[in-house]
Amino acid sequence: MKINEHFLDLSENYLFSTVGAKVSAFQKAHPDRKVIKLSIGDVTCPLAPAVIAAMHRAVEDLAHAESFKGYGPDRYCYGYDVLIDSIKGSYARKGVRISSDEVFISDGAKSDLGNLLDLFSADNAVLIPDPVYPAYVDSNRMAGRRVLFADANEENGFLPMPDEGVDADLIYICSPNNPTGAAYNRQQLKAWVDYAIRKGAVILYDAAYEYFIEDPTLPRSIFEIEGARECAIEICSYSKTAGFTGVRCGYTVVPKELNRGGASLNRLWARRQSTKFNGASYIAQMGAAAVFTEEGEREIAANIDYYRGNAKTIAHCLEELGIWYTGGKNSPYLWMKCPNGMKSWEFFDHLLERANVVGTPGSGFGKNGEGFFRLTAFGTADSTLEACQRMRELLK
Ligand code: MLT
């Protein structure tokens, strides 16, 4: 028996587990201190009333023989029509037409971002921005895939552009970006689409934060860009859009025009999902179907505005302290430069020990993240205000 030795190349823990362990150790040593966590992007607002009502109705359905549901419908890989129709409606409002059999319901973006790799040979070269959401790099390293990095830095506004000299087969793009909060405009995304088509590459487009886009000129889906249906897969989530981090539901769109190696990736993904996945739960899907109703959209917009208020609170604090940052607009993340030339983990310890505030060290997202630090706007308004007050006192 041989294990997959690529796992041995990974760091011992996933980034957010390392942060969590450090914070738990600190809390154990200082049980009297009130620690404020602005680290992992986990939501704090309760689910929208429309979602809760739909989930209650779904529970009731499961309680009676005549409305009981077992496995989801096989036709669309266990996605219910009502949910798929609501997703199609949401795309139509962005001017994007998709068909029902291009939508695959998932238990969240993170799983699909890793699972999609089943479709691609391990000897493909993967292009990933640095810094980046660590799950992209780790899930490729687990398969032993060669990872190339696209440098994101202050000079390019943390929005790297394609380099003709680099031959990539798979390309990860997250916009608005985790961790930097930077968002591509249409021309920039078009350049990536054109590059992918020239190289015969596939873009895995992580749109988990699209609902935070305020600027109406920015694209919210890669399928708003001409040519994207021939080169991109879009991965979406209800986690940040509608507070589903604990409920678990998302969706992935694989267009039917996307063919590689003589095969339709839409069909390969359907084959993969029907073999290895039994669908998101009925209750989660019914809750998700309420998100894009008129009432649901109004309610989730109020929650997103609440987080935007937190982002503004943090942004004002950083501005007052004269600290350089990106994000916070069109994004729930603020990506700040560590003060006084501190390294990322050094600042993490300083902030935890002296202000009892937790963020995420930028270096955990890649080498270009060294010297930077990520704060999230997903906390409560009160704890965000208090964290900022403590940062002002510590860093003024
Ligand atoms: C983050 O903090 O980067 C995200 O919450 C992690 C995730 O979405 O899995």
Answer yes or no: are the C-beta atoms of 73 and 282 closer than 8 Å.
no
Distances (CA, A) of 237 to 219, 221, 234, 379, 389: 17, 13, 10, 19, 32
Is residue 344 predicted with pLDDT exceeding 90?
Answer: yes
Give 224-276 as a DSSP string. Answer: GSTTGGGTEEEEEESHHHHS-TTT--EEEE--TT-EETTEEHHHHHHHHHHHH
Specify the pLDDT at position 284. Answer: 98
Q: How far is the CA of 241 from the centre of ligand 1 (A)?
A: 13
- At residue 313, φ and ψ (nearest 5 deg) are -60, -45
Domain limits, the chain: 5-46+295-395, 49-293
C-beta of 41 in contact with ligand 1 (< 6 A): yes
**How confident is the model over 43-73, as pLDDT tens digits?**
999 999 999 999 999 999 999 999 999 999 9
Residue nearest to atom 8 of ligand 1 (CA): 41
Specify the pLDDT at position 37. Answer: 97
- In this prediction the pTM is 0.97
Q: What is the CATH number of domain 49-293?
A: 3.40.640.10
CA-closest candidate to residue 143, choices 129, 125, 130: 125
- CATH 3.30.470.20 assigned to domain 5-46+295-395? The reply is no
The answer, yes or no, to whether the previous bond of 131 is cis (omega within 30 of 0) is yes
**How confident is the model over 149-168, as pLDDT tens digits?**
999 999 999 999 999 999 99
**How confident is the model over 133-147, as pLDDT tens digits?**
999 999 999 999 999
**How confident is the model over 170-195, as pLDDT tens digits?**
999 999 999 999 999 999 999 999 99
* Ligand 1 atom at minimum distance from 376 CA: 2
Distances (CA, A) of 360 to 84, 252, 344, 371, 393: 35, 27, 8, 11, 20
**How confident is the model over 243-295, as pLDDT tens digits?**
999 999 999 999 999 999 999 999 999 999 999 999 999 999 999 999 999 99
Element (H, E) at 129: strand 125-130
**How confident is the model over 21-33, as pLDDT tens digits?**
999 999 999 999 9
Handedness of CA 188, 192, 193, 197 (dihedral sign): positive
7/92 Cα distance (integer angstroms)? 41
Is residue 80 predicted with pLDDT exceeding 90?
Answer: yes
Residue nearest to atom 4 of ligand 1 (CA): 41
Per cent of the chain over pLDDT 90 is 98
Whole-number mean pLDDT of the chain? Answer: 97
Answer yes or no: are the C-beta atoms of 211 and 83 closer than 8 Å.
no
Residue nearest to atom 7 of ligand 1 (CA): 41
C-beta of 110 in contact with ligand 1 (< 6 A): yes
Q: How far is the CA of 67 from the centre of ligand 1 (A)?
A: 36
C-beta of 237 in contact with ligand 1 (< 6 A): no
Is residue 12 predicted with pLDDT exceeding 90?
Answer: no
Answer yes or no: are the C-beta atoms of 119 and 266 closer than 8 Å.
no
C-beta of 335 in contact with ligand 1 (< 6 A): no
Helix, strand, or coil (residue 172):
strand
Distances (CA, A) of 207 to 145, 203, 211: 23, 12, 9
Q: What is the largest CA-CA distance in the chain?
A: 66
358/341 Cα distance (integer angstroms)? 19
